[in-house]
Structure 1
């Protein structure tokens, strides 16, 4: 009886650990992830000129937007001021607005801007816009996109449509069932394996 209770407690602890681990930042790419990285193209951002990416949100909430951006080494990234805003297209309501520098930017990685949770997003069309408020020195700042447009994800630079889709991702901090199942399965496997070893060398 005690052995069964112990197994139940251990099982519950493992499920709780898997549940905690499964609360993650879930990324959903707006662009075609099958596109070869060698085909990525860059928009050279000029000060005060706006890039706008339209997209339909696949999640019920948004916690951040991540995008691929790069700055030349000679620019002080702490002095770069990048303004951004998220607008609900149908109503024209601005749901997010802010500024950031690029001090957290890492080469080859997506750069994310976090904001207070936006809810009721699923199926709605949004516009995420960014523009370079201050360059912070000589050099270029580029925002990347994949070639080939889509009616569901249009990209504009200073009002002109670009034949491409920005390398943008929506980020939702939530429980992810797939991560939970994989983690729980791994913990159960370890527990069974350890029990087998215990019996083998007992």
Structure 2
């Protein structure tokens, strides 16, 4: 009876741990991941410009984007303001702001906003502005030198032959991760029981 109680308690703990572990940031890249990063272009410092990128959402919801960003000079007094809207209706769905001093040079930087639901298959557009930038101090974004399907990259409303190095993000429960974690834990348990009996 005690063994059954311990086994049941162990299963409950395993499920709780697996459930917590399976809450992940699900990312979808809108750019071609097969392109060598050395081939990326750069927007240069964004000064008095609005950089926009549209894309079709593959997840049911999104709550941030990650964009490959670089810094130039001192960015302590520079901030990034951004908004995401439905390209089909023009409705602004969410807005946000981030401090440029938190950007790690050459890394993906996450622009967070309130979760936008029920957008799978819809075309959305994020527009980014840099407040306080000048010719010596600011941020730039990386792009690939071609237009991916169902995307548009614009600078001040003018379409460009490029696609930002950008990923959409949805923080959510992932059943596949949950199942793999449970399966791996059960495998380890069975294997350890086998070894115990083998050398008992």
Instruction: Confirm or deny a common fold (TM above 0.5).
Output: yes
Deviations 1:39-91 (A, max 9, x none): 1111013322111101011111111111111102x31x331121111011111
| Match runs of 1:58-77 below 5 Å | 58-72=58-72, 74-75=73-74, 77=75
Give the alignment partner of residue 144 of structure 1, picking from 142, 161, 170.
142
Report SS of the residue matched to 2:101: coil
TM-superposed CA distance for 1:154, in Å, is: 1.1
| Match runs of 1:43-192 below 5 Å | 43-72=43-72, 74-75=73-74, 77-135=75-133, 138-192=136-190
CA RMSD of aligned residues (A): 2.0
Q: Look up the match of 2:18.
A: 18
Report SS of the residue matched to 2:100: coil
Residue-pair matches, total: 200
Could you tell me which runs of 5 or more consecutive residues in structure 1 were left unpaired when the two chains were aligned: none
Could you tell me which runs of 5 or more consecutive residues in structure 2 were left unpaired when the two chains were aligned: none
Partners of 2:31 and 2:148 within 8 A in 1: no
TM-superposed CA distance for 1:105, in Å, is: 1.5
TM-score (norm 2): 0.90
Query: How far apart, in 2, do the equivalents of 1:151 and 1:201 lie?
Result: 59
